[in-house]
Chain A
Amino acid sequence: MANPSAVLQSEWTKIRSVRSTVWTLALALIVTVGLGAVICAVINGTWNDRSPLDQATFDATAASFSAIVLGQLALIVFGVLIISSEYSTGMIRTSLAAVPQRGSFYGAKIAVAGGLAFVVSMVTSFLSFFVGQVLLGSHRTSIGDPGVLRAVFGAGLYMTLLVLFCVGVAGMLRSPMLGMSILMPFFFLVTPILSVVPKAKDVARYFPDRAGQKIIQVVQTPDNHTSYGPWGGILIMALWVAASLLGGYLVLKKRDA
């Protein structure tokens, strides 16, 4: 069967040799860190306008990840393009002629995309945290405080899992336009809106992004639900990811290229 390291190497060459990899990942980092920094600076500057309750329940860690909801759009594009660009360009036929063992091909793609997303996500996460805390001035927290390191690491984990979820969904849809036009509104509009609708939010909290983002919260507020904890949330998201990747695999395995 196909040599795993050879296929990994090949997928690495593929991912590093297209521009979309650089611009999507760079955009995710810049937006998440940059916009997060701006928000932290604004919070610091308008601290006295906040109600006492808001001040008491202020989550300095989560504040530095305020821009994640926007930055993740670039990660969605990255995750979708990894697999669907193979279909949209026709490269899939050339790729599968070179590596006919579809499981090896798919596994290598996930490993390379996931590995790269993990590194970029962790850099983004820690950078967001430290830049944000500097700009929060006296309202900052420290990486050594209880739950903070978990939240910062968790934010990186969340972004990585989000990419993998998109890889799986795009693998099922096989089209970049379809993948993006479903996933971007879903994560940018649908789940944030459902999360504030009374009945719907009981369901929406089990959506992959809502569940995964639980790990970023350090300070519990009264309206924070407690049906699962930070790691429970990540586990729920990981199950979504597993299901989506499995779906992508089955489609790749079953359908003609």
Chain B
Amino acid sequence: MLASLAPMIELQGLTKRYGDKTAVDHLTFTVRPGVVTGFLGPNGAGKSTTMRMVLGLDAPSSGDVRIDGRRYAQLSEPLKYIGALLDAKDVHGGRTAYNHLLCLAQSNRIPRHRVDEVLETVGLTAVAKKRSKGFSLGMGQRLGIAAALLGDPEILMFDEPVNGLDPEGIHWIRNLMKGLAAQGRTVFVSSHLMSEMALTAEHLIVIGRGRLLADTSMADFIQQNSRSYVRLRTPQPERLQDILTAAGHTVVSTADGSFEIQDGDAAELGTLAAQHQVVLHELSPQRASLEEAFMRLTAEAVEYHAGGPTGFGPAGTGALPQDVPAGQAPGQEQAPAPEWGAQWRNPGSRKGR
């Protein structure tokens, strides 16, 4: 059809409210072709709701989402444009894998031989005539991916595709996604694990509580967020702090009584302590992990805290991507959890349906 239009997913102010709870809050971003775009956020951040709105399953409260410039419901044979795997359990278990794919193919006038092809691609040919209720988690996931690939679409969207898979299955899905992107397709994949995204995604969209927190390339994210610092521990904290401050270092004390120094290296700091005869119990260079950076970024936006303010990581001012309100990063003291478990009272996401 409109061959000139690049296969993109465009969200414009997309919002979804359930009563007084806002699950997705004015999301605006574009998913582009040729790379794997990771869609990252803690549980309950609104990733699945966003993806359901992309497919027209849930109606947005406001805003708009377009596929190749058109609304999903305007696509007459959508499986040829966008293939999606939202929940691998969204099949009738009484139907065989073959018939499940056949009914989807027929509705979009996709030739029957594609069913055999995608079954071959995902490695389910041997169980094609078996009812899918007997499938393992991994087989179900493969069936869902087969359905997504059926129409040979330019856009693919996967919601937490590696959840519950064994290492072999995870490896397979990662390679599949990279391969699809390398063919120039648009691949949009959600996860709540930064480590997973770091392995597959080239572009990153981070949301928390339905809001956009970052829209950046993975390379930039890593560069800006893998902060390095030196940790010092001493039985003479007041003395050490004075010395360090006098030497022009910014000292950050952490909850467990250690100090963190971002400027300066371990050798210099060790020498400084020795010159003033301060006893050190620890002197170690540290590098914050991406997982930590992600948790810091989403700290305020986590739907369900394990209990009280999250006390991970040092308080630092590592460069965070755009749009983070000042003071959020070191935000332990103003994390919005006035009392233990208060966050629990937020109306739940719709995951449990």
Contact = CB atoms under 8 A, between A and B. Distances in A.
B52 interface: yes
B51 to A, nearest CB: 10
Contacts of B103: 10-11, 13-14, 17
A98 B52 CA distance: 13
Nearest to B90: A90
A96 B78 CA distance: 10
Interface residues of A, number: 31
A18 interface: yes
Dominant secondary structure of chain A at its interface with chain B: helix
A2 B74 CA distance: 9
Contacts of B91: 89-91, 94
A92 B90 CA distance: 7
Interface string A82-98: 00011001111111111
B73 A14 contact: no
A20 interface: yes
Interface in B66-112: 72-73, 75-79, 84, 86-87, 89-96, 99-100, 102-104, 106-109
Contacts of B72: 100
A135 to B, nearest CB: 37
Question: Which of A91, A97, A98 has its CB near the most chain B CB atoms (within 10 A)?
Answer: A97
A90 B108 contact: no
Interface string A1-33: 111001101110110011110000000000000
Question: Which of A19, A96, A98, A99 has its CB near the most chain B CB atoms (within 10 A)?
Answer: A98
Contacts of A7: 107
Contacts of A99: 107-108
Contacts of A256: 52, 57-59
A16 to B, nearest CB: 8
B88 to A, nearest CB: 9
A86 B100 CA distance: 12
A95 B99 CA distance: 13
Question: Which of A1, A17, A101 has its CB near the most chain B CB atoms (within 10 A)?
Answer: A17
Contact of A100 (B78, B95, B100): B78
B52 A10 contact: no
B107 to A, nearest CB: 4
B11 interface: no
Nearest to B58: A256
B157 to A, nearest CB: 10
A93 B86 contact: yes
A257 interface: yes
B76 A97 contact: no
A10 to B, nearest CB: 4
A89 B92 contact: yes
A234 B14 CA distance: 48
Given A13-B103, A97-B55, A100-B56, A89 B90 contact: yes
B128 interface: no
Contact of A93 (B79, B87, B95): B87
Contacts of B77: 2-3
Contacts of A14: 92, 95, 99, 103
Contact of B84 (A11, A86, A97): A97
Question: Which of A14, A85, A92 has its CB near the most chain B CB atoms (within 10 A)?
Answer: A14
B57 A90 contact: no
Given A6-B109, A18-B94, A94 B58 contact: no
Given A7-B107, A13-B102, A17-B99, A2 B147 contact: no
A94 B104 contact: yes
A11 B103 CA distance: 7
Contacts of B104: 10, 94, 98
B76 A1 contact: yes
Interface in A70-91: 85-86, 89-91
B107 A10 contact: yes
Contacts of A85: 92
Interface of B: 52, 55-59, 72-73, 75-79, 84, 86-87, 89-96, 99-100, 102-104, 106-109, 147
Interface of A: 1-3, 6-7, 9-11, 13-14, 17-20, 85-86, 89-101, 256-257
13 contacts: A1-B76, A2-B77, A13-B102, A17-B100, A86-B92, A90-B90, A91-B91, A93-B86, A94-B104, A97-B84, A100-B75, A257-B52, A257-B58
8 interchain residue pairs of minimum CB distance: A10-B107, A90-B90, A17-B99, A256-B58, A10-B106, A13-B103, A257-B57, A100-B73
